[in-house]
């Protein structure tokens, strides 16, 4: 139990580190469009502009599950969600799955918590394809490199969250899974995402609308 408490304290300290990171844009390297299927070859990570500290733990996984309204919208329009390795798309456009840990992720005190890979939203009906990749979690939300129909849009704030809704939940013990992590971490539509969806599809997805929930566990026990 004492070891579990120490691990929880480490997670909380790490959360504070990323929350303290500035919200200035990170510099990402060139993005090579994947083949359009889940598990496509990964892309080069963005170049470092600060120190790299190890991720919160050696391994784990995260489920980013879209809200029921988002899933319904995707399926009604025939939208296809595709993964950019190491992130994978879930069947039925229900969300994305990603491995987490020391192997691929790191903490950058200047830019936040970095996750490689990403996902593509292929809106067959409108003919537009949006890629979101090289993801950073910061105090104000999720920042990522965005490409629309192969054209880079730079780094954008693609989703927001409220620290008071998840910070207390980060060190939740999950003994059956051998680690710690939040089961409830809601994400919301950012102003940029709202405008982009409207411009590309005509669909009204309002800023602040519920987007998805993050359920993640960092594992310390095999």
pLDDT in tens, the chain (222 residues): 444 444 444 444 444 444 444 444 433 333 333 333 334 434 444 544 578 899 999 999 999 999 999 999 999 999 999 999 999 999 999 999 999 999 999 999 889 999 999 999 999 999 999 999 999 999 999 999 999 999 999 999 999 999 999 999 899 999 999 999 999 999 999 999 999 999 999 888 999 999 999 999 999 987
Structurally, the chain folds into a number of domains equal to 1
The answer, as to whether pTM is greater than 0.85, is no
Q: Which structural domain range is residue 95 located in?
A: 2-219
**Residue 80 per-residue DSSP state:** E
128 φ/ψ angles, rounded to the nearest 5 degrees: -100, 145
Q: 3-state class of 115 per DSSP?
A: strand
Q: Given the structure tokens 């849009």, which residue do they identify?
A: 153
64 φ/ψ angles, rounded to the nearest 5 degrees: -110, 100
């Amino acid at each position: 139990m004492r070891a579990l408490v120490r691990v929880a304290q480490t997670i909380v300290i790490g959360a504070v580190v990323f929350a303290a990171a500035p919200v200035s844009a990170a510099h990402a390297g060139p993005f090579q469009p994947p083949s359009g299927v889940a598990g496509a070859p990964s892309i080069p990570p963005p170049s470092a502009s600060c120190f790299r500290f190890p991720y919160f733990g050696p391994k784990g996984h995260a489920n980013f599950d879209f809200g029921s309204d988002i899933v319904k919208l995707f399926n009604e329009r025939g939208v296809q969600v595709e993964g950019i390795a190491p992130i994978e798309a879930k069947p039925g456009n229900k969300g994305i799955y990603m491995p987490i840990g020391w192997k691929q992720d790191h903490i950058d005190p200047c830019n936040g918590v970095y996750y490689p890979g990403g996902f593509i939203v292929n809106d067959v009906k409108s003919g537009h394809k949006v890629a979101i990749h090289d993801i950073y979690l910061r105090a104000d939300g999720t920042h990522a490199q965005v490409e629309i129909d192969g054209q880079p849009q730079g780094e954008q704030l693609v989703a927001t969250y409220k620290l008071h809704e998840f910070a207390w939940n980060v060190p939740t013990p999950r003994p059956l899974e051998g680690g710690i992590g939040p089961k409830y971490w809601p994400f919301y539509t950012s102003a940029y995402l709202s405008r982009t969806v409207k411009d590309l599809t005509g669909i009204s997805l309002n800023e602040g609308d519920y987007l998805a929930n993050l359920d993640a566990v960092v594992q310390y026990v095999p």
